[in-house]
Every structure is written in C-alpha cells, then in structure tokens.
Amino acid sequence: MTGEWLAAGLAFVGAAIGSAGSFWAARRDTESEARAAADDLSQRERASAREEWGRRFTAALADLNSDESFRRRHFGRIVLGAMVDSDLTSPEDRQLLEDVLLAHARFDQEGDEVGLGAEGMLVDDVRVVEDDGDEPSERSRR
C-alpha cells in the first residue's frame, strides 16, 4: 500500500514540476513576443515620425525658397528653426538645417547677399545704416 501512495505522490510531484515548467516557458515566450511587438511598434512609430519630419522639412524648405510672400518665407524659417531642436532630428539633419538657415540668412528679401561681418566680430561693433534715398546733408558729411 505504501508503494501505491509513493507512486501516486511521485506522479503528482512530476505533474506539478512539468506544469510549472510549461507555465514558466509559456510565460517567458509570451513576454518575449510582447517585447518584440513593442519594439516593432516603437520602430514603426519612429519611422512614421521621421517621415512626417521629412515632409515638414520639405514643405518648410519650399516655403523658404520658392514663395514670393514674405510671410511664407518667414514661416518657413520659423519651422526650420523649430525643427533644429526636435527629438527626431539626427546630428546630420541638425547640421543641414543650420547650414540652410545660415545660407538663407545671407540674403535679403530682394536676393542680394548680406554681409555677415568678420568672424569674431561683436554685435556692439556692428553699425547699421539705412539708405532712405535722400542725399546726405552738409551736416552729416562732416
């Protein structure tokens, strides 16, 4: 009789160990699949956000360069300036944005190149003179 109980007890322990092992393996696989799905979703969201970043960059660049409206060009500059600080902006994109903005800053509304001053020049050293078309008076010539 003790042999019967011993066999039944060992069968029960074996079944419990087998069930626990199956549960642990299934749980590990489920967690692994959930992590993989979350990673895939994260990558898709990032790729989608980068595509949207590219569309906004293209639209802002088009506004900045092709539209005759000052307001649209100014809006394009604002958008490009804001995109520099975006989390989606890679270091290469950030450098490109800064180069585009710097190059655009070199030209005035009529497309004439504007001098940016000498390297190391302080803002206090800059003298701005507006040409209003009037002849200078004798007093201002001295």
The whole-model pTM stands at 0.50
Taking phi first (over 0 means left), then psi (-120 to 50 degrees means alpha), and beta for anything else, what does residue 35 get? Answer: alpha
Can you tell me the distance from the alpha carbon of 26 to that of 77, in angstroms, rounded to the nearest whole number?
A: 54
Quick check: 60 and 73 in contact, CB under 8 A? no
- 114 pLDDT band (50/70/90 cuts)? low
Quote the pLDDT of residue 141.
46
Quote the pLDDT of residue 98.
86
Question: Could you read off the pLDDT of 56-103 as tens digits, one per residue?
Answer: 888 888 887 776 777 887 888 888 888 888 888 888 888 988 888 887
Question: Could you read off the pLDDT of 45-55 as tens digits, one per residue?
Answer: 888 888 888 88
- 17 pLDDT band (50/70/90 cuts)? very high
- For the beta carbon of residue 6, count every other beta carbon within 10 angstroms: 10
Q: Pick the closest to residue 105 from 136, 73, 132, 62 (CA basis).
A: 73
